Structure 1
Amino acid sequence: MFSHVLNPGSPPTTTPFAFLLWGARLQWRTLVAGMVCGIVWMTAIGLVPAAIGRGIDDGLVPGDRGELVRWSLILTGLSLVIALSGSIRHWFAVQNWLDGAFRVVVVTDEAVTTRGQEIARSFPAGDVVSVTTTDMERVGHVYDTTARCSGAIVSFAVVGVLLLRASVSTGLVVLLGAPVLLAMLSLIIRPLQRRQAEQREESGRLTTLGTDTVAGLRILRGIGGEAEFVGRYAVQSQRVRQAGVRVAGYQAALDASQTLLPGLFVVLVVWTGARAVVRGDLTTGELVAFYGYATFMTFPLRTVTEMVEHVIRFRVAATKIMAILRVPSDHPAVAGEGSLETAADGDLVDPVSGAVFTRGALTAVVSARPEDSVALAGRLGRLGPGAAGPGKAAAGAGGVEATAYGAGPTLGGRTLADLPIDVVRRTVVVNDPEARLFSGSLRAQLRAGRPADDTTLVRALGTAHATEILHSLPDGLDTIVEEKGRGFSGGQRQRLGLARALAIDPPVLVLIEPTSAVDAHTEARIAEELARHRRGRTTVVATVSPLVLHHTDRVILLVDGRAVASGTHAELLSGNTAYRDIVIRGGDDR
């Protein structure tokens, strides 16, 4: 029933109108139902003055009780129709609002889930947050207002016909005056749209600044920078306030015009109708009906104005939403399906650096520039821009550009870039020292959405020397982890991240400085257990720690991003001066 909301597919990102039409096609049934109810509801309201006028002329003035009762019953019937159709219209309006708003959340969540790092490079976090807090409502309001707007247009036409049949001159005043009112309001609407777009930009920057400040609050307090960032937040907050004031001026003018102009319109219609009664062109009942028509006409006019205002806000919101959705993936889809189960039995090769990682071996990567090792790890896992396909410049997780690498890294002779990204993710897992923890149970954290029993999880915790962390928790594996693992120290978070990578047990595991936040004793034990745990599985470790290098099967030395030497730790330590300098310095740093 709700597949059009939960699985809406990919929206067009060409124009706001195309985006709006795409959503309308997905929920056309509720939109049409709401429009029908809206037309019935508002048309019935528009016919009330006609029934009152006829009741006066046919029943009240001549004293005809039968006609008076007849038109009274007609008024009662119209009231029932108004009540029933209005209630159903409101139900569909809320349904349309929820569907339209929630669909924005779904497509944005899909984009962030699949292209999170790509979007983060192009947009501040505040813009993405605003989509799911403010922009979704603006999209929903357009679908919500369609029922009332449709009713407003049809009822305006029906009442216009009734007016012209009663008096051409007075009817023309009503019918021609309405477009003039809308034209006058459009003079305010256009600058209002610009001001709203400016406020949207400033509000997004404020949200981003607040998010970044809260995320780094502990560090800011440690270095005494909290006051500086609070000051920046205050400055940006004032910019948002000033942008809001500029919007408020035009918004106030629009709201005032929506009351003043229709009021003047009613005065003009009543004056014209009264003159027609004096001339004998209108009866008393028709004058009352004309006054009712004029009063009613302000209702559809304000509804259309409201729709225009919602469309303006929608255009601003949709432009931002589509800009986020247009961000290309670092890993575009490739045709067909693939598997690396057989290929995982072969060597892992990186043409950029010339490094070859032997199948089933624990291989370390040592470099004087850590960013070179990080870039290599990013290429092996197809992380970051340029790591997705042939002929592109490679940039790893450290953001370091490398030369074009032709067909890209291969595993068992198969090019990783030629396979669907989900296949690569199941086969090659990259774990960095800043691995994030999310809210939820520790068991769910370690499983990472993959099947793993408690025995596997406990074994992984033991290898990462994190068993004492488990024992210190009140509910063991069922303990709820706070967002970003705030309840753990930096070293504990690093070890839990390592345990999670080990529990996944991928055919190829790439670790970036997995022991940088632990003491030497713990590091030595982790290195020893890691070699035992991953025996027979391809493992790559980017590190300069002698304690870890001592337990590796092979070491590759990078100089300026290229593999210039390889061998055991002992061989390189005794025969390569550059390697010895890097490792000794790395050991001293610890």
Structure 2
Amino acid sequence: MKASVLHPPAPPTSTPRDFLLWGARLQWRTLAGGLVFGVAWMTSLALVPWAIGRGLDAGIVADDRQALLRWALILVALSAVIGITGAIRHWFAVQNWLDGAFRTIVVTDEAVTSRGQEIARQIPVGDVVSVSSTDMERIGGVYDTFARFCGAIVSYVVVAVLLLRQSVTTGLVVLIGAPVLLGLLSLIIKPLQRRQAQQREESGRLTTLGTDTVAGLRILRGIGGEAEFVGRYAAQSQHVRAAGVRVAGFQAALDASQTLLPGLFVVIVVWTGARSVLSGELSVGELVAFYGYATFMVFPLRTVTEMVEKSIRFRVAAGKVMSILRIQSDHPAGKADQVVDPSADLSDPASGARIPGGRLTAVVSARPEDSAELAGRLGRLGTESTVALCEIPLAELPIRQVRDLVLVNDPDSRLFSGTLREELSTGQAIDDDRLLKALDDAWARDVLLALPDGLDGHVEEKGRGFSGGQRQRLGLARALAADPHVLVLIEPTSAVDAHTEARIGASLAQSRRGRTTVVATVSPLLLQHTDHVVLLESGRAIASGRHAHLVRDNAAYRHIVLRGGDSE
């Protein structure tokens, strides 16, 4: 695929018009190709009535067989041109649609992945989902219709010129009537645009509500809140339905107008042409040609109204895309890459914790959210980070450099659809031996053995075919395979049995030897394999040292760990 589609430059976020022109510049070659063949295709269609009329007058009315054969051959040639240019125009139309739609997905995905949690704080999840599922089609649709729209304009001019040469009155009817029709359609277009925007808003809220409900379904069942959320979803569905009904009225009026108004236009043109024949201004062949012109004119007029309709949908969709693109990242780029020692100590002034470099450190807290917040600061996730590495604040490093240095793995690591090899390597060039070792260190070899094709075995979306413990161990294996300089694990064994947990603790200490590793846990089966432990209370570090020493000398630590051990 072209670089302008896979890696497009930053789009403008000022107006939908600027966004449209930005995309047009990036795919101007296919747009130009579609324009050339679209104009050739529709102009050839417009010339068919002209050729038929001339053939009737010169061949049949004048009883000239040679003229009849000549015009018949011209019709055959026009038919061949129509077939060839129509097929090529359609190819360009599909290519333009795909480029415009996929580029929208690319820039939206880049914005979502680079803006961090700021996206979720400012825009409902449903709006983000709708961009990839609906809005990208509407944006691609404008580029798809562009070639036919240009062909419609040119063919309209060609027909008008032919009509004016044969009958000034009928030609003026065509030239004046078409803009009048478009003016009548504009009375419907403006309110339709407003109602489509309202429906898009309500649909986005419904998608957000459904996404939140599904994500918290287990919790809802636990507290018996399904009925409440079903009621909310039903109420929002009614809002979407009502908005859809409001759109449907104007949409039906527009669709009906696309048939009714061009039809009336045809009647007027034919009536005018018939009067011209009776007055002797037109011949029989020219009357037949006029009827063909009038019938043909329905096609470009419908194409113009289709372009107007898709432009409305484009404005609404582009507005949603640009609202995402306007959000500033909560991870500013910062300074250029700096030279840091990844094996140096990590310090967090917010909690007073110090993580020794090159060692396996555990973070223990009676409140799991305190440990998770410290882990988030260590990886510069979501909130402002005060953590420093090698005495250099992470906030002053480019986020890309931070991501290269630190990897944070939570207990609910998401699995995606694909092969097990793709799942573990995450797009990196990691050899099979390293992947297998990561599976062994995470004690997830049973997952590999359960797949008939091994590393090439298929993983279903979200790992539905695996148990909770298997999914958690695969997430851990993926983190170990990445082999980051600093690995932060949040409750990596919360879903596995005690026997497997003890084995994972021993493997983790061995496989990460010499690398900085932080584990947020209260499990003594993991703590016994650590080199260093930091105890948090109310988010502040109140003690640190070896696990065995803290168990013996610190009552608060002993209470947390023994209670955690009893609950395993």
CA distance in 2, matches of 1:372, 1:492: 26
Gaps of 5+ in 1: 388-407
CA distance in 1, matches of 2:438, 2:543: 32
Mapped pair 1:496 → 2:494: no
Partner of 2:384: 386
Question: Partner amino acid for 1:2?
Answer: K
Mapped pair 1:103 → 2:103: yes
CA apart distance, 1:306: 0.9
Partner of 1:367: 365
- Which string of whole-angstrom CA distances, capped at 9 and with x for unpartnered residues, describes residues 2-22 of structure 1? 232233233222221112111
2:413 to 422, 430, 435: 435
Task: Please give the residue correspondences for 1:109-508 in structure 2 after superposition, counting only pairs within 5 Å.
Answer: 109-115=109-115, 117-212=117-212, 232-334=232-334, 336-338=336-338, 340=340, 343-387=341-385, 408-450=386-428, 452-453=430-431, 456-467=434-445, 470=448, 476-508=454-486
CA apart distance, 1:180: 0.9
CA apart distance, 1:183: 0.7
CA distance in 1, matches of 2:452, 2:111: 37
CA distance in 2, matches of 1:329, 1:475: 41
Question: Partner amino acid for 1:422?
Answer: R
Change (3 A) 1:332 1:521: same
CA distance in 2, matches of 1:492, 1:506: 22
CA apart distance, 1:247: 2.5
Partner of 2:492: 514
SS where residue 429 of structure 1 aligns? strand
- Which string of whole-angstrom CA distances, capped at 9 and with x for unpartnered residues, describes residues 535-589 of structure 1? 3322222223344334433322333333333333344445545444444444454
Mapped pair 1:560 → 2:543: no
Task: Please give the residue correspondences for 1:31-50 in structure 2 after superposition, counting only pairs within 5 Å.
Answer: 31-50=31-50
CA apart distance, 1:432: 1.6
Question: Partner amino acid for 2:80?
Answer: L
Aligned residues with identical type, % of pairs: 72
Matched-pair contact (CA < 8 Å) for 1:164–1:172: yes
- Which string of whole-angstrom CA distances, capped at 9 and with x for unpartnered residues, describes residues 400-457 of structure 1? xxxxxxxx42222333233333332232121221122333344443444445555544
Change (3 A) 1:147 1:518: closer
Matched-pair contact (CA < 8 Å) for 1:349–1:355: yes
Question: Partner amino acid for 2:318?
Answer: A
CA apart distance, 1:366: 2.6
Change (3 A) 1:179 1:452: closer
Mapped pair 1:544 → 2:542: no
Change (3 A) 1:166 1:529: closer
CA distance in 2, matches of 1:472, 1:160: 71
CA apart distance, 1:463: 4.2
CA distance in 1, matches of 2:72, 2:436: 80
SS where residue 330 of structure 1 aligns? coil
SS where residue 436 of structure 1 aligns? coil
Instruction: Please report the TM-score for the alignment, with normalisation by the length of structure 1.
Output: 0.86
CA apart distance, 1:68: 4.1
CA distance in 2, matches of 1:132, 1:431: 27
Partner of 1:15: 15
CA apart distance, 1:31: 1.2
SS where residue 472 of structure 2 aligns? helix
- Which string of whole-angstrom CA distances, capped at 9 and with x for unpartnered residues, describes residues 167-225 of structure 1? 33332222111111111111112222222223333333444455555556666667766
- Which string of whole-angstrom CA distances, capped at 9 and with x for unpartnered residues, describes residues 276-304 of structure 1? 44444444444433333333222221111
CA distance in 2, matches of 1:174, 1:450: 62
SS where residue 430 of structure 1 aligns? strand
CA apart distance, 1:374: 1.2
CA distance in 1, matches of 2:292, 2:422: 65
Change (3 A) 1:76 1:508: closer
CA distance in 1, matches of 2:23, 2:263: 36
Change (3 A) 1:142 1:576: same
CA apart distance, 1:138: 1.6
Matched-pair contact (CA < 8 Å) for 1:203–1:240: yes
Change (3 A) 1:244 1:534: same
Change (3 A) 1:365 1:269: same
- Which string of whole-angstrom CA distances, capped at 9 and with x for unpartnered residues, describes residues 209-268 of structure 1? 555555566666677666665555555444444433332222221121112112222222
CA apart distance, 1:93: 1.8
CA apart distance, 1:312: 0.9
SS where residue 105 of structure 1 aligns? helix
Matched-pair contact (CA < 8 Å) for 2:363–2:518: yes
CA distance in 1, matches of 2:556, 2:223: 36
CA distance in 1, matches of 2:420, 2:71: 72
Partner of 2:25: 25
- Which string of whole-angstrom CA distances, capped at 9 and with x for unpartnered residues, describes residues 106-138 of structure 1? 333333444465434444444333333322222
SS where residue 344 of structure 1 aligns? coil
Change (3 A) 1:574 1:176: same
SS where residue 518 of structure 1 aligns? coil
CA distance in 2, matches of 1:521, 1:369: 25
Matched-pair contact (CA < 8 Å) for 2:116–2:329: no
SS where residue 345 of structure 1 aligns? coil
Question: Partner amino acid for 1:430?
Answer: V
SS where residue 35 of structure 2 aligns? helix
Mapped pair 1:535 → 2:516: no
Gaps of 5+ in 2: none
Change (3 A) 1:422 1:149: same
Matched-pair contact (CA < 8 Å) for 2:116–2:330: no
Question: For structure 1, which segment, 375-384 or 279-288, has the greater mean C-alpha deviation from structure 2 after superposition?
Answer: 279-288
CA distance in 2, matches of 1:171, 1:515: 81
CA apart distance, 1:141: 1.7
Question: Partner amino acid for 1:144?
Answer: D
CA distance in 2, matches of 1:524, 1:532: 13
CA distance in 1, matches of 2:456, 2:149: 53
RMSD (Å) for aligned C-alpha atoms? 3.1
SS where residue 10 of structure 2 aligns? coil
CA distance in 2, matches of 1:368, 1:306: 63
SS where residue 362 of structure 2 aligns? strand
SS where residue 519 of structure 2 aligns? strand
CA distance in 1, matches of 2:286, 2:486: 86
Change (3 A) 1:300 1:473: closer
CA distance in 1, matches of 2:78, 2:475: 67
Instruction: Please report the TM-score for the alignment, with normalisation by the length of structure 2.
Output: 0.89
| Count of residues in Structure 1 that have an aligned counterpart in Structure 2 | 568
CA distance in 1, matches of 2:187, 2:560: 69
Question: For structure 1, which segment, 425-434 or 490-499, has the greater mean C-alpha deviation from structure 2 after superposition?
Answer: 490-499
Matched-pair contact (CA < 8 Å) for 1:339–1:423: no
Matched-pair contact (CA < 8 Å) for 1:438–1:485: yes
Partner of 1:404: none
Question: For structure 1, which segment, 146-155 or 96-105, has the greater mean C-alpha deviation from structure 2 after superposition?
Answer: 96-105
CA distance in 2, matches of 1:470, 1:50: 71
Matched-pair contact (CA < 8 Å) for 2:35–2:150: yes
- Which string of whole-angstrom CA distances, capped at 9 and with x for unpartnered residues, describes residues 479-519 of structure 1? 43332222333233323323333333322221222233334
